[in-house]
Amino acid sequence: MTDLPSYETILLERDRRLLRVTLNRPHALNSFNRQQHDELPHALAFARDDTGSDVILLTGAGRAFSAGGDLAHIENNAENPHLFDHEIEMARAIILTLLDTDKPVVCRMNGHAVGLGATLALFCDVIFAVDKAKIGDPHVGLGLVAGDGGAIIWPQLIGLARAKEYLLGGGLLLAPRAAQIGLINHALPADELDAAVDEFCNRLLDGAQQAIRWTKRLTNMELKRITEAVLPVGLGYEAQSVRTADHREGIAALKEKRAPRFGG
């Protein structure tokens, strides 16, 4: 069995043939800085190819699943937009690696999932969330295009009209509402979350692995086709929006805790 790699911002652990992948910046609500952006594609690729596991469990350390982009990191990209070109490659790798993973990927959404955090959760196969968690993709609130996967996965899960409502408005949903409309699978009290996740993961681990993997591959074929068509365009639009005055205003408003005054 291959030894588990070590990362600064991602924790990998095995339990039988379950591989747990934990976003591990709890002090920052697992928000993405450059290091985590760079490490996650490698961790997911290892999980995809790991011969010692049959099920992947993705979760966050501490109170949040992931609060999205780290503000200092977002601000640095706005000041040095050429750096975002590297981030585009990492974002593409994160999404495509998840889609190319035949093993089932279960999300334990232990807290809020925002922006890229929401996208990461929604590209998992089955999502169990604590009922106090919120999920949403507020890219537009920062003057950004939701190009890193949100515009792909939300319509596939809840339909185009609802997806536009949440992506264009940038609002967050409580987990019970997200479950009600089909965005996630389950919203559970905190004291019931782990038992539900464990029961489902054990069911998968005890199942016919090749049948499970081939079934997942089939159900992902159309999503993969759409993603391969839309993701490059979306990331291109997001790269353009990183360079706009509206994005800089969105950052300033967030730092100053006020409503943004976008200029169009």
139: its two tokens: 């890219």
Q: What is the DSSP letter of 82?
A: T
Residue 217 · residue 224 · CB < 8 Å: no
Residue 82 · residue 46 · CB < 8 Å: no
Residue 59 · residue 107 · CB < 8 Å: yes
The vertex-145 CA angle with 139 and 150, nearest 5°, equals: 70
Query: Residue 1 has what pLDDT?
Result: 61
pTM of the entire predicted model = 0.95
9: its two tokens: 């911002």
Q: How many CA within 13 A on the CB side of residue 87?
A: 25
The vertex-175 CA angle with 44 and 72, nearest 5°, equals: 55
Q: What is the pLDDT along the chain (264 residues), one digit of tens a residue?
A: 678 999 999 999 999 999 999 999 999 999 999 999 999 999 999 999 999 999 999 999 999 999 999 999 999 999 998 888 888 899 999 999 999 999 999 999 999 999 999 999 999 999 999 999 999 999 999 999 999 999 999 999 999 999 999 999 999 999 999 999 999 999 999 999 999 999 999 999 999 999 999 999 999 999 999 999 999 999 999 999 999 999 999 999 999 999 999 997
Q: Which domains does the chain have, with CATH numbers?
A: 10-192+203-209 (3.90.226.10)
